[in-house]
Amino acid sequence: MGVEDASNSNSSSQCDVDDKNNTLVVLNVYDLTPINNYMYWFGFGIFHSGIEVHGKEYGFGAHDFPASGVFEVEPRKCPGFIYRCSITLGQINMNPSEFRTFIENMAGEYYGDTYQLLSKNCNHFTDDVSYRLTGKRIPGWVNRLAKLGTLCSCLLPESFQVTGVKQLPEYHECSEDEFVESLSTATPHGSTEIDDEQEKHLLSPSAGAEDVTFVKESRVK
């Protein structure tokens, strides 16, 4: 009886741990423009999206530096966008620490200066995260205009094809020592120096975006 009770207790404890690690993967979709209210019904629109896991939302934005463009915000409250809806993509069994390692690895693949409106935007990021976590893609309508733009890129101005939309604050949260190190390696637009105004803008979130935190990418050892 004692052995059986201990076994049942251990099994129950393991179930409790598994239950705590189970978390939904949710896609939060935002409007970039009020025109979406009309375009949405025709299957089109200009959208931003973020992935919500373990009570935080993660997105991808553009800046001029070779550092993480992946950021976290409170779910459904991404500054600068109009929240539209949430879509449950699936459920995973991954504790917060394991997920943090996962998203930091993703941050190493999504630098702010690699953002491309048609080929590597915020919706490509959420689609990639969703597929890696759940094996499912995000709904096609979320990124449909980018896909159509890629097919018709020959008709678009060159500047539109290569320029990322900078909707998010251009700062990377780090310690003082890490920031000094980043100044020695970051060379936006081929420049070898960062002037005082650029430095201030890099470190300081824009007005209304105090709750945005960039995810520090994991370093290859």
Per-residue DSSP letters for 125-159? HHHHHHHHHHS-PPPGGGGHHHHHHHHTGGGS-HH
C-beta atoms surrounding 4 within 10 Å: 8
What is the distance between the alpha carbons of residues 12 and 95, in angstroms, rounded to a whole number?
18
Contacting residues for 10 by C-beta, under 8 A, at least 6 apart: none
Average pLDDT over residues 137-162: 63
What pLDDT sits at residue 20? 79
Residue 28 CB-density burial (10 A; 0-12 exposed, 13-18 middle, 19+ buried): buried
Q: Which of 102, 113, 110 is nearest to 59 (CA)?
A: 110
Average pLDDT over residues 198-219: 57
Quote the strand ranges of the chain, DSSP E: 22-31, 47-53, 56-60, 70-73, 82-93, 213-214
Give yes or no: 152 in active site.
Answer: no
Choosing from 48, 63, 124, 172, which is the catalytic residue?
48
Residue type, 62: A
Average pLDDT over residues 47-54: 96
Average pLDDT over residues 53-82: 95
pLDDT: which is higher, 158 or 199: 158
Choosing from 63, 122, 124, 172, which is the catalytic residue?
122
What pLDDT sits at residue 86? 98
Task: Evaluate if residue 98 carries a pLDDT over 90.
Answer: yes
pLDDT tens digits, 110-120: 999 999 988 99
Q: Which of 20-34, 40-54, 142-156 has the highest mean pLDDT?
A: 20-34
What pLDDT sits at residue 6? 52
What pLDDT sits at residue 197? 41
What is the distance between the alpha carbons of residues 175 and 169, in angstroms, rounded to a whole number?
18
Q: What average pLDDT is seen over the chain?
A: 74
Give yes or no: 122 in active site.
Answer: yes
